[in-house]
Structure 1
């Protein structure tokens, strides 16, 4: 498109008092050759917005550059016709609020940002939404338990069709095996009758929910809005086209055979919580050898919160044991009930059930089990250390012991094999990139993805989701995890989780049909374009994409799936041939922004530090520093990146050739508890930057001129010291010898 650019400078929020606005205007009109440049004291007010809209309608302005506050605020105010390109220059948070007013260096910083903004808009083209073929508004829900049925019904209530696949002959899942369920309504002091049958009936009678029982997923191919799911039901293959997927396959009990140290398998009267439900369902609770239970002990965290078994808390064990204790007390109020626990965890209204158990006479012992033995009558003697009293205690022989063994997600069924593979990868200590994803062979989704048939998982085997910012949203776009397959949770939490996942799945469908990004760049219409004629088939884009957005065709060329794409640009940073671009984000665009920085001569003693800042954590942290009026080094110039994983090493070489003295990469925290919105982006950037020494050596420059740090938004107060420390090191190294070339 032929661009007519208008630059609009806000003088409010002390911008006009802190900067030479006329000097900024000259940068736009004289250097940038911008035909329209205006200022206004309240640009985000109605009068200021009308000024811009008038120029769009009457002067033919179709490219707008707003020099005012951070692009993270007033984004809804500065929203114009979709045919208008709009970009922002941050003069408030990252210039006048973080630098002294009426200062030469502050003015130079503002003018550089103006130059960078103008350089950027010259290379922006209007994105065109991707339009897929035969897109549908149907959800596929895998798993017909409480979570899966709730997700399917919530979707139907919202006006969407759902396909529900359950491997068992009947719906209901785990709930079918319960004698009673934990209380969900006031007064929350006693177990309730299991109501799963009502939910099953509601699902089966809903015309918008198609149910397949005795069925499993044979394959899922395609992408959001146009997944093709092959369902195997009793040997027959049925194909359904769906727009998104909710994984709700739940969890299974931890293998009690591994709890022999607690007597399981050794003594027949040591049972699991699941077996206790079966005994209660038969009427009078008797132990396996037929004796009526007059005394019982519940052992919490049987395998959970144990580094040798399950390192995590399984969330429901305490409440389930309290529920089962009430079974015994209802049968015989005089029965002795012991509950051995590490920490009693009864969140929310479950505290009332805990209090009722105390009133009913249950004896709570906080301590560690040191041994379980059996007497001649097959009664069980429990030795434990009582943490509260400091004493070692031994119970008189109890009739039965119930182990509250924790939950293992169905995504972790191949965990042992995967762990061995992980050990091999650790031994290899690959230097070419971060550790590869370990895809567990759980046979739940059978994805037709180059990146593997199942989803990556978190370190304990739960389906991966960005648990800090984006629960439900797994590493495979359009596939959402809900319930105990995502994290240990109780029934009420599973119902809430199912509703949330269904809503996210619906959002995905609607966004995919519109051709915009689902998350985290919600509404972004751009998607990567591949200049295949220059592709060398190096496979880096297919390997490094964290979301499975790029497959390979039969000739091993990258095969992008735009509706799977999160628009992070990691593939762009991965490509050594620079064949991947977005209409509003590209290697040449960022290259021209950094080249627009005016680098003073060596004798002016004004070094320049270029910050490549992740837009998700680092850039907001810089904003927060400004909001809190924390002043930082005036040498810095910030270029926000969609993700630090989109970093191209070309930018490092170009910056150094330009005379930039130092480059600071600020990315999200990576590792097991990652905060990177794009999962692997910051980690990939760290890997790439480890190789930058070769580039700098070629330029006869010190590798210390490039530094990378991880930062979260909450670390904003640390930024001034971090920048000062880097500036001090650059002063020791001296000026970049390429200045003036």
Structure 2
């Protein structure tokens, strides 16, 4: 489409799904015609074949900007997707007909306001012009263990070139050191032989995969589709260009030297599960380290340093399965006895069959219990266990103790270093210390090797959650990280076993491939998949305040030497957080901008007569809050009819000027409803909801300038699962404004 074109409007109103029975549709047509000169048509089943044909016929005759007043924009989006046509959706079904009293004057006014806002939004909307460059459709896989090998194979099988980088001299990772691995196919009763050699062979023989061993990534610059990667192999540098990245660098065992209370480091016959696995792989038998004799009686201590706030607060998910497997080693290789002491035995899904298989073995003793002590005796090691299922404390003398230590992401050590660096920078007046900290950080990262070594302003590695894992969001987006087109897989992403890692690797590879295809079209990746818009910056008015570069959750913005933002459009997720951050309002999208939302606010009818009710605005996140309103409506819950809902891409995209727009217009109160944030955050854009809450200080200043009460604006966190709380949240907000503050004094101006 051309950049400029004359808009030809048409409003389509569906009368089905109780809309026609709840609202006077003719009056809606009058609003469109008399206030905006927009013609309107109605249909009883707009999403049906005849309704769609009606719209298509009008498009053929020249209509190019349509407003569909029907069901939620979250449904039938494919049905109402018309090429080269601006489409705006007005939610009359869920947000009016299904959630308010039918044929009530306030319900009618609500519907009319939604029509006004929909038309104004369509007026302000332009066709997005996608940012497109010729990109490289090559996937970089970092890590040559089972996860990395699987990702490389899957991406290559999908028809994409792959560059695989492994820091060790040979491929295979941890699995190369394992004697056997847990079962992953029916009947789930016997450990299986690793097929790692076959995977290595597939990789080495695939013409699409280029392998670098004894190598690491020295630097990554650029953006998705156009990443320039410097690979250091045995001291020699080589630069390659890739489009997307899978990080599969695996895991590290928890440092068992911190578990002296369990005897590690104190007694040679206390080892870890990893040490036992390597022993069986190398020797084909289990021996007592202090004597070299076969271990006939072996105790396995589960959750060694796990689910413990002093060590690893989380469960590593696979340790129970590993100990069950290793108990069978004791039985089969040494004809010995195995004792497994656990906090809880976790064998999810079909792995329960493997658990039953081990339970059936008379030579394996299992009990829940707490380890009181592990001490050396003349005949071996004495394990004392309290609070057992037997109802009494027990003592077991064994030849060998095996600690089930947990899995730690390879990112954690680097994340801890970066956190220490930030803490050092936060100290005022201690430039020397900060410089020293910088040098120590550089040395430490060089020692660890780094992983990505990004040149991003936001830091060289992926941001990590509190446990050191790089998930973008713990519920919604497997594989995603906070860096666009860079995907985490396997135990680097979260603790998991070999079978799960293979599945995870496939998923990450497919996400990397999807990213390449989307980016090649100038389209956004998750969660706004397919969005062709991207932020445009009117830099002539930029004050170099750095708010956009600091607040962008995805590192999409770098800075020049003056602090002016340097956009990397392919890194952008189109959340609009930068737009919400900018005090000069110089950032906008073709189909989402400050003027558009402000104009929608100003289009609302605000009655001067209190008998018609007050007016309230709810800015709601399109990811959790908006669908929560839809869910409440589906359950026929009602909320206050004086509230108008405006969806925003993310609460982080909320610009405080909209508060001034609303309150100066006479709106009596504004509520912002976004995702839950914190340690178990659910914000689709990482920090958006939290940032909106922080910006409330600016809102307070705006209200003070307007001589209005700060309480007229409220921020609420609403997980989608709490949709049933919506009527109460809205009612309490409205009642507080009505009872404590009354109408907005700007009403009528």
Short-chain TM bin: over 0.9
Deviation at 1:419, TM superposition (A): 5.5
Q: 1:101 aligns to what?
A: 102
1-structure distance, mates of 2:238, 2:187 = 46
Answer whether contact 1:465 1:486 (CA < 8 A) is retained. Answer: no
Deviation at 1:207, TM superposition (A): 0.7
Question: The residue matched to 1:459 in structure 2 has which SS?
Answer: coil
* Structure 2 counterparts to residues 257-268 of structure 1, below 5 A: 257-268=257-268
Deviation at 1:417, TM superposition (A): 3.6
Deviation at 1:20, TM superposition (A): 1.3
Deviation per residue, 1:317-365 (Å, 9 max, x gap): 11111111111111233x2211111111112332232222222221112
* Structure 2 counterparts to residues 352-501 of structure 1, below 5 A: 352-360=353-361, 361-377=363-379, 379-396=380-397, 398-418=398-418, 420=420, 443-501=450-508
Q: 1:722 aligns to what?
A: 729
Answer whether contact 1:190 1:326 (CA < 8 A) is retained. Answer: no
Deviation at 1:40, TM superposition (A): 1.3
2-structure distance, mates of 1:425, 1:626 = 49
Deviation at 1:421, TM superposition (A): 5.7
1-structure distance, mates of 2:416, 2:462 = 16
Question: The residue matched to 1:674 in structure 2 has which SS?
Answer: coil
Alignment equivalent of 2:40, drawn from 37, 40, 54: 37
Q: 1:295 aligns to what?
A: 297
RMSD, aligned α-carbons: 1.7
Q: 1:564 aligns to what?
A: 571
Matched, 1:129 2:133: no
Deviation at 1:192, TM superposition (A): 2.3
Deviation at 1:391, TM superposition (A): 1.5
Answer whether contact 2:138 2:243 (CA < 8 A) is retained. Answer: yes
Deviation at 1:53, TM superposition (A): 1.3
Q: 1:306 aligns to what?
A: 308
Question: The residue matched to 1:736 in structure 2 has which SS?
Answer: coil
Per the alignment, do residues 605 and 103 of structure 1 end up closer, same or farther by CA in structure 2, a change over 3 Å counting? closer
Q: 2:437 aligns to what?
A: none
2-structure distance, mates of 1:197, 1:80 = 51
Worse overlay, 45-54 or 189-198: 189-198
1-structure distance, mates of 2:415, 2:653 = 32
1-structure distance, mates of 2:284, 2:678 = 50
Worse overlay, 356-365 or 248-257: 356-365
2-structure distance, mates of 1:284, 1:103 = 81
Question: The residue matched to 2:563 in structure 1 has which SS?
Answer: coil
Answer whether contact 1:374 1:380 (CA < 8 A) is retained. Answer: yes
Matched, 1:608 2:615: yes
Deviation per residue, 1:504-531 (Å, 9 max, x gap): 1100000000001111111100000000
1-structure distance, mates of 2:276, 2:49 = 68
Question: The residue matched to 1:691 in structure 2 has which SS?
Answer: helix
Per the alignment, do residues 233 and 7 of structure 1 end up closer, same or farther by CA in structure 2, a change over 3 Å counting? same
Matched, 1:27 2:31: yes
Q: 1:435 aligns to what?
A: none
Q: 1:734 aligns to what?
A: 742
Answer whether contact 2:415 2:464 (CA < 8 A) is retained. Answer: no
Alignment equivalent of 2:528, drawn from 493, 502, 521: 521
Worse overlay, 417-426 or 112-121: 417-426
Deviation at 1:695, TM superposition (A): 1.3
Answer whether contact 1:644 1:667 (CA < 8 A) is retained. Answer: yes
Q: 1:321 aligns to what?
A: 323
Count the aligned residue pairs: 725
2-structure distance, mates of 1:151, 1:467 = 21
Answer whether contact 1:365 1:386 (CA < 8 A) is retained. Answer: no
1-structure distance, mates of 2:102, 2:384 = 72
2-structure distance, mates of 1:516, 1:536 = 29
2-structure distance, mates of 1:354, 1:109 = 59
1-structure distance, mates of 2:199, 2:399 = 37
Worse overlay, 13-22 or 182-191: 182-191
2-structure distance, mates of 1:307, 1:143 = 30
Alignment equivalent of 2:81, drawn from 79, 82, 86: 79
Q: 1:189 aligns to what?
A: 189
Question: The residue matched to 2:40 in structure 1 has which SS?
Answer: strand
Deviation at 1:280, TM superposition (A): 1.6
Matched, 1:7 2:11: yes
1-structure distance, mates of 2:226, 2:610 = 61
Question: The residue matched to 1:122 in structure 2 has which SS?
Answer: helix
2-structure distance, mates of 1:424, 1:310 = 25
Deviation at 1:728, TM superposition (A): 0.8
Deviation at 1:416, TM superposition (A): 4.3
2-structure distance, mates of 1:510, 1:628 = 38
Worse overlay, 453-462 or 358-367: 358-367
Deviation at 1:240, TM superposition (A): 1.3
Matched, 1:153 2:157: no
Worse overlay, 515-524 or 379-388: 379-388
Q: 1:434 aligns to what?
A: none
2-structure distance, mates of 1:227, 1:416 = 26
Answer whether contact 2:230 2:240 (CA < 8 A) is retained. Answer: yes
Per the alignment, do residues 280 and 641 of structure 1 end up closer, same or farther by CA in structure 2, a change over 3 Å counting? same
Q: 1:218 aligns to what?
A: 218
* Structure 2 counterparts to residues 529-548 of structure 1, below 5 A: 529-548=536-555
Answer whether contact 1:602 1:739 (CA < 8 A) is retained. Answer: no
Alignment equivalent of 2:64, drawn from 52, 62, 65: 62
2-structure distance, mates of 1:408, 1:499 = 22
Per the alignment, do residues 624 and 186 of structure 1 end up closer, same or farther by CA in structure 2, a change over 3 Å counting? closer
Question: The residue matched to 1:131 in structure 2 has which SS?
Answer: coil
Answer whether contact 2:300 2:341 (CA < 8 A) is retained. Answer: yes
Question: The residue matched to 2:302 in structure 1 has which SS?
Answer: strand
Q: 2:595 aligns to what?
A: 588
Deviation at 1:425, TM superposition (A): 9.5
2-structure distance, mates of 1:425, 1:622 = 43
Question: The residue matched to 1:401 in structure 2 has which SS?
Answer: strand
2-structure distance, mates of 1:195, 1:41 = 60
Answer whether contact 2:284 2:333 (CA < 8 A) is retained. Answer: no
Answer whether contact 1:137 1:509 (CA < 8 A) is retained. Answer: yes
1-structure distance, mates of 2:581, 2:477 = 25
Question: The residue matched to 1:405 in structure 2 has which SS?
Answer: coil
1-structure distance, mates of 2:414, 2:610 = 64
- Structure 2 unaligned spans of 5+: 429-440
Matched, 1:236 2:244: no
Answer whether contact 2:415 2:463 (CA < 8 A) is retained. Answer: no
1-structure distance, mates of 2:360, 2:114 = 68
Deviation at 1:186, TM superposition (A): 3.4
Answer whether contact 2:621 2:648 (CA < 8 A) is retained. Answer: yes
1-structure distance, mates of 2:187, 2:128 = 56
Answer whether contact 1:15 1:92 (CA < 8 A) is retained. Answer: yes
- Structure 1 unaligned spans of 5+: 429-437
Q: 1:48 aligns to what?
A: 51
2-structure distance, mates of 1:186, 1:68 = 49
Worse overlay, 68-77 or 418-427: 418-427
Q: 1:675 aligns to what?
A: 682
Question: The residue matched to 1:112 in structure 2 has which SS?
Answer: helix
Per the alignment, do residues 187 and 517 of structure 1 end up closer, same or farther by CA in structure 2, a change over 3 Å counting? same
Deviation at 1:422, TM superposition (A): 7.2
Deviation at 1:693, TM superposition (A): 1.7
